[in-house]
Chains A and B, each alone.
Chain A
Amino acid sequence: MKISGVNDFVIRFANVNGSGSASANNLFAKAIFRLGVPVSPKNIFPSNIQGLPTWYEVRVNEQGYLGRRGGYDFIVAVNGQTLKKDYEDLATGGYFFYDSTRSLPDDFLREDITLIGIPLTQICIQKIENPKLRQLLKNILYVGALAHLLDMDFSVLTDAITRQFSKKPKLAEPNIHALELGFEYAAQHFPDTCKLSVKSSKKLARHMLMDGNTAAGLGAVYGGATVAGWYPITPSTSVIEAFDKFTSRYRLDESGKKKAAIIQAEDELTALGIVLGASWNGARAFTATSGPGVSLMSEFLGLAYFAEIPVVLINVQRTGPSTGMPTRSQQSDVLMCAYASHGDTKQVLLFPCDPKECFEMSADSFDLAERLQSPVIIMSDLDLGMNDHVCLPLEWDDSHQYDRGKVLDAAQLEAMTERWGRYLDRDGDGLCYRTIPGTHPTLGAYFTRGSSHDEYAIYTEDSEAYERCMQRLTRKWQTAKTLVPKPHIKISDKAGTCGAVFFGTSTHASYEAVEQLKKQDIIVNTLRIRGFPFQDEVIDFVDSHDPIFVIEQNRDSQMRTLLINECGFCPDKLFPITNIDALPITATLIDRSIQERVSTQVPPHQGGVK
Chain B
Amino acid sequence: MKSRRPSFRHPDLPKNDLGYTRRDYEGGDSTLCAGCGHDSTSNAIIQACYELCLEPHRVVKMSGIGCSSKTPAYFLGKSHGFNSVHGRMPSIATGANMANKDLIYLGVSGDGDTASIGMGQFVHIARRNLNMTYIVMNNGCYGLTKGQDSATADRGSASRKGRPNPFESIDLCELAIALGAGFVARGFSGDKAQLVPILKAAITHKGFSLVDVISPCVTFNNTATSTKSYQWVRDHMDATSTFDFIPPRQEITTEYEPGTTQPVTLHDGEVVNFHKSDDSHDVSTRRSAIDTLEFHREKGHLLTGILHLNETLEETHEILETTDTPLNTLTEKELCPGDQALQQLLETYR
Which A residues contact B (CB, under 8 angstroms)?
Answer: 33-34, 207-210, 218, 221-224, 226-227, 229, 246, 250-251, 253, 255-263, 265-267, 269-283, 285, 299-300, 303, 393-398, 401-402, 435-442, 445-451, 459
Contact = CB atoms under 8 A, between A and B. Distances in A.
Contact of A266 (B96, B121, B339): B121
B181 to A, nearest CB: 16
A299 B87 CA distance: 11
A441 B343 contact: no
Nearest to B332: A402
Contact of B57 (A259, A438, A450): A438
B55 interface: yes
Given A260-B322, A437-B103, 5 more contacts: A258-B323, A262-B320, A274-B95, A437-B79, A451-B83
B52 interface: no
B327 A261 contact: yes
Contact of B60 (A255, A273, A281, A299): A281
14 contacts: A221-B335, A224-B336, A226-B330, A253-B323, A259-B327, A262-B320, A269-B88, A274-B94, A276-B91, A278-B95, A303-B85, A395-B339, A401-B332, A447-B80
A440 B57 contact: yes
B73 A441 contact: no
A436 B80 CA distance: 8
Contacts of A210: 349
B119 to A, nearest CB: 10
A441 B56 contact: yes
B83 A273 contact: no
A555 B333 CA distance: 46
Nearest to A285: B95
Most buried by A among B56, B94, B99, B345: B99
A224 B331 CA distance: 8
B81 interface: yes
Interface of B is mostly: helix
Given A440-B57, A442-B78, A277 B83 contact: no
A441 B99 contact: no
Contacts of B345: 218
A446 B95 contact: no
B97 interface: yes
B349 A261 contact: no
Interface of B: 55-58, 60, 62, 72-73, 77-85, 88, 90-100, 102-103, 120-121, 123-124, 128, 316-317, 320-325, 327-328, 330, 332, 334-339, 341-343, 345-346, 349-350
Nearest to B97: A277
B117 to A, nearest CB: 10
Contacts of A273: 84, 88, 90-92, 94-95, 121
Contact of A441 (B78, B128, B324, B338): B78
Contacts of A272: 91
B96 A278 contact: yes
A274 B317 CA distance: 14
B96 A281 contact: yes
Contacts of B343: 393
A203 to B, nearest CB: 14
Contacts of A33: 350
Contacts of A440: 57
Contacts of B316: 261, 263
Contact of A209 (B80, B81, B341, B350): B350
Given A208-B349, A283-B327, A397 B120 contact: no
Given A258-B322, A259-B327, A277-B99, A229 B57 contact: no
B124 to A, nearest CB: 4
Q: Considering the complex of A and B, which 5 residue pairs feature the smallest CB-CB distances, nearest first? A: A277-B95, A273-B91, A283-B99, A437-B80, A278-B95
A562 to B, nearest CB: 26
Contacts of B320: 258, 261-263
Contacts of B56: 441, 445
Contact of A299 (B85, B338, B350): B85
Nearest to B327: A226
A395 B62 CA distance: 40
B323 A436 contact: no
Contact of A270 (B82, B90, B339): B90
B99 A282 contact: yes
Contact of B88 (A226, A227, A300, A398): A300
Contacts of B349: 208-210
B242 to A, nearest CB: 35
Nearest to A209: B349
A270 B93 contact: no
B100 A437 contact: yes
A396 B339 CA distance: 5
Given A251-B335, A257-B323, A270 B120 contact: yes
Nearest to A277: B95
Contact of A279 (B84, B95, B121, B339): B95
Most buried by A among B97, B102, B322: B322
B244 to A, nearest CB: 30
B339 A229 contact: no
Contact of B124 (A250, A255, A266, A450): A266
Contact of A437 (B60, B325, B327, B332): B60
A227 B327 contact: yes
Most buried by B among A246, A258, A262, A449: A449
A396 B335 CA distance: 13
A221 B60 CA distance: 27
A489 B1 CA distance: 63
A263 B92 contact: no
A295 B267 CA distance: 42
A459 B73 contact: yes
B350 A222 contact: no
B262 to A, nearest CB: 35
B328 A281 contact: yes
A449 B91 contact: no
A404 to B, nearest CB: 10
A393 B293 CA distance: 63
A223 B335 CA distance: 8
Contact of B98 (A255, A274, A299, A445): A274
B30 to A, nearest CB: 13
